[in-house]
Chain A
């Protein structure tokens, strides 16, 4: 594996009582690349995600995030919102978690909370309406507008997010995560429930995020057409263990991977093979 990693997971272990969900998992995600985490259902992918994004505290191992300026942050020591705030790791959720009663624009404004909070002098300066806060808010609206344009939802900026179609909600959630200006974007099954055309659009969006903005992406995905098309590096998990890793081509031909998918779900194995041909 070449290049310098942005995220290094080392011997990560997560136990829930007697159940070991993730065992001694080590992998790295490269800077400005798309790394995919795949595996059959119940392999422990989302658990790894929750450890990286601070929703779980790992039972063992370390997770290191290296920023562009060389600062290294131990994610397993930060908790909850600090991972998003200080380590600049943004995430989306398997079951979409937008703010349904707020407009698309408001959703993206909430994502810029910390920057705006600073600009509003912890609310006090904002309350009396200092000009510096107003310019900061204008900038935030501009950033939100840009992202609405990118995910093709600009004309629905003032509609409630809860009214959006499923595919639009997925894209809006990605836009919201990107509005936090993250160093690492973690996507939990972004293509779940999308049709073929929407999946293709999603691939395009993720590639543009990587190529144009240079944001590193870590994603969990079941849709092999998306994974094989956009991933630079794939890590395969099964039963909490890493069973393979490499480029899409290497992983596709790995007999262990095929066995893992065949052993659990024939359709998924067939999907892996098919997208390889």
Chain B
């Protein structure tokens, strides 16, 4: 049964030269229309203000020719090495091979991550970058609960990150509470705000849900900017205490950790400590999420993403299910926010713009909605990749954007294109993302 459509799609895809030429011709025509004004005619203001222009038909012709040739090459590549948009063309052997590799990627990545401070002890830049990547891994995992599992599109996730950061910053600077007391409080407060957001959006779906969550993110930011007496407004909060090793400060003083251990003090100690702190927080997020997925609440989240009406018919309280998803995701965002505040020592509303929400959402979508490993890889690719292109300077965004578009064309359902079942009788078969719904958002 599967063989027949397979053959026909293949036959259609390897359509001959006329098809190739037709595609290339259409692409060249589009390029001609697009670039005729952009490249074909050059205008400039003359010496006394009049408009001068001249034509550059040679450049135009070479661009169109490049598009023509390029589309033939791309089409040939598509036909020979695939895969095209349809993921069904990937044979099952390759898919099972992928999941086999997937089983070892995660532990290997974890061991490597644990060793990062050992390997790169002298390279402050790499350690800082690793901390940044891990922060986004944690944010991605947190948002994954809301977007990937429960299928609720949240464009205002940065709000919870901000709540967590300001909770710690204000509690620590005003009352002098320690990081370890404030961390759970930041999580609880963020979860509380997650529930508050949850209530008005319970009845909303799709675009409307996205708009309200987007607005919520902006509201939090604007409140922070305008509530000057509490938050310091645009000036932010500074002098946020650095984290301590359970009460022992990591500084050059006599009761510092270095002095107590009898080793020479180095500022890298604090960076390494921060690295392991965020790693522990991220792994906690991951562990809790993996456990929750196998509990009834996690299955209810996924069922909600698949079909809300069926959930109600099975007696699942969709209200509390949605609220718990929002609250759980927000709580992890709050933890990450508290970490961000203690790492930076200074926070201001500028760190919590919509761009952050969009970045975290892009990580979740790129990773493959619902996949923990995918989110981690996507965070590495997005944050690490962005740094990788630093040498390209002004073209960085362009190259990065193109890379994103290419990845989404080749793997439309994210880097990890399958879902692992939460319970099985004989064998845990990976489920192709083609069957998995994306939820109401």
Contacts and interface: CB of A to CB of B under 8 A. Distances in A.
B314 A103 contact: no
A53 interface: yes
B431 A116 contact: no
B145 to A, nearest CB: 13
A34 to B, nearest CB: 20
A80 interface: yes
Nearest to A79: B312
Contacts of A158: 421, 424-429
Contacts of A93: 309-310, 313
B32 interface: no
Nearest to A182: B315
Interface in B390-441: 419, 421-429, 431-433, 435-437
A145 interface: yes
A91 B288 CA distance: 33
16 contacts: A54-B312, A55-B313, A81-B314, A97-B310, A98-B307, A98-B310, A105-B425, A110-B314, A113-B303, A116-B295, A117-B296, A120-B297, A123-B297, A126-B291, A141-B425, A162-B435
Contacts of B421: 102-103, 105-106, 158
Given A84-B313, A162-B435, A120 B425 contact: no
A60 to B, nearest CB: 23
A103 B424 contact: yes
Interface of A: 53-55, 80-85, 90-91, 93, 97-103, 105-106, 109-114, 116-117, 120, 123, 126-127, 129, 137, 141, 145, 154, 157-160, 162-163, 176-177, 180
A110 B313 contact: no
Contacts of B307: 97-99
A109 B423 contact: yes
Nearest to B310: A97
Contacts of B432: 160
Given A100-B306, A145-B425, A110 B316 contact: yes
A93 B311 CA distance: 12
Nearest to B1: A165
Given A110-B316, A158-B429, 19 more contacts: A55-B309, A81-B314, A84-B314, A84-B315, A97-B307, A97-B313, A99-B310, A102-B299, A105-B421, A105-B423, A111-B314, A112-B296, A113-B315, A117-B296, A129-B291, A158-B426, A158-B428, A162-B435, A180-B315
Interface of B: 288, 291-292, 295-297, 299-300, 302-303, 305-307, 309-318, 324, 419, 421-429, 431-433, 435-437
Nearest to B287: A127
B238 to A, nearest CB: 37
Nearest to B316: A113
A126 B296 contact: yes
Contacts of B313: 53, 55, 81, 84, 90-91, 93, 97, 177
Nearest to A179: B314
Contacts of A159: 429
Nearest to B298: A123
Of B305, B316, B317, the most chain A CB neighbours within 10 A belong to B316
Nearest to A129: B291
Given A100-B306, A158-B428, A127 B423 contact: no
A54 B317 CA distance: 13
Of B296, B312, B429, B432, the most chain A CB neighbours within 10 A belong to B296
A113 B312 CA distance: 11
B116 to A, nearest CB: 29
Of B292, B311, B431, the most chain A CB neighbours within 10 A belong to B431
Nearest to A141: B423
Contacts of A177: 313-314
B436 to A, nearest CB: 3
A82 to B, nearest CB: 8
A99 B303 CA distance: 6
Given A101-B436, A102-B306, A157 B426 contact: yes
Contacts of B302: 99, 101-102, 106
Of B303, B317, B324, B437, the most chain A CB neighbours within 10 A belong to B303
Contacts of A82: 315
Contacts of A126: 291, 295-296
Contact of B424 (A54, A116, A157): A157
A127 B292 contact: yes
Contacts of B317: 81, 85
B318 A81 contact: yes
Contacts of A114: 315-316
Of A93, A126, A129, A145, the most chain B CB neighbours within 10 A belong to A126
Contact of B314 (A123, A157, A176): A176
Given A93-B310, A97-B309, A114-B316, A105 B424 contact: yes
Contacts of B316: 81, 110, 113-114
Contacts of B425: 105, 141, 145, 154, 157-158
Contacts of A53: 313
B288 A127 contact: yes
Contact of A100 (B422, B428, B435): B435
Contact of B419 (A101, A110, A116, A117): A101
A158 B429 CA distance: 6
Contacts of B315: 81-85, 113-114, 180
Given A101-B419, A101-B431, A158-B421, A109 B299 contact: yes
A103 B324 CA distance: 23
A170 B207 CA distance: 32
Given A105-B425, A110-B316, A160-B432, A120 B295 contact: yes
